[in-house]
């Protein structure tokens, strides 16, 4: 039965358009990766690639599997991130990311008051360029993000602060 690892292998082959190139990225032999793809083709009873000396090209069946596998892996990653986030919250860990330089606006007094009001809370802090703060929030790698501007992004709750 096809599993998440198989789907990931399939996606890498599709993206690289080459079993050899994908095998190198996945730290597999081309033969092992080829067997995985053949096993998948047997399971769905359809040819997923057109193979040539130039590499591989997805068939219509392969395109269906590619899109579905990407969705499944994204859903899986989202599920794991939500569970990890809840686990961290239950352990009293707050993961915060900010753009470079933002921390200087959080005065020692503010941090002290936060620590006093939340003694059970442990703060993990990371600094990134603005776009990486947003990526970390969107990908649920942190709970709070601080950036120097506001923009409406997906379903994020945005609070603005003023001095």
In tens, the pLDDT along 96-105 reads 888 887 777 7
d(CA 12, CA 6): 10
Mean pLDDT in residue range 105-119: 78
pLDDT given for residue 110 in this prediction: 76
Higher pLDDT, 117 or 20: 20
| The pTM of the whole model exceeds 0.85 | no
Residue 88 has pLDDT above 60, yes or no: yes
Residue 155 has pLDDT above 80, yes or no: no
Give the start-end residues of each E strand in the chain. Answer: 49-52, 55-58, 93-99, 122-128, 144-146
Q: Is 61 helix (H, G, I), strand (E, B) or coil?
A: helix
How many C-beta atoms lie closer than 10 Å to residue 131's C-beta? 10
* Digit-coded pLDDT (tens) for 62-74: 999 999 999 999 9
d(CA 40, CA 43): 5
Give the start-end residues of each E strand in 55-143. Answer: 55-58, 93-99, 122-128
Question: Per-residue confidence at 150, pLDDT binned at 50, 70, 90?
Answer: low
* Digit-coded pLDDT (tens) for 3-57: 999 999 999 999 999 999 999 999 999 999 999 999 999 999 999 999 999 999 9
* Digit-coded pLDDT (tens) for 50-59: 999 999 999 9
Higher pLDDT, 86 or 48: 48
């Amino acid at each position: 039965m096809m599993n998440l690892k198989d789907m990931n292998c399939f996606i890498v082959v599709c993206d690289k358009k080459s079993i050899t190139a994908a095998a190198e990225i996945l730290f597999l032999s081309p033969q092992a990766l080829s067997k995985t793809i053949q096993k998948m083709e047997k399971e769905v009873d359809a040819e997923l690639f057109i193979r040539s000396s130039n590499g591989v090209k997805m068939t219509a069946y392969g395109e269906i599997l590619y899109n579905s596998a990407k969705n499944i892996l994204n859903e899986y990653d989202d599920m794991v991130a939500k569970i990890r986030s809840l686990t961290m919250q239950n352990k009293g860990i707050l993961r915060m990311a900010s753009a470079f330089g933002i921390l200087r606006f959080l005065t020692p007094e503010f941090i002290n008051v936060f620590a006093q009001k939340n003694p059970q809370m442990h703060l993990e802090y990371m600094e990134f360029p603005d776009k990486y703060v947003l990526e970390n929030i969107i990908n649920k790698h942190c709970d709070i993000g601080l950036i120097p501007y506001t923009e409406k992004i997906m379903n994020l709750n945005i609070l603005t602060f003023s001095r």
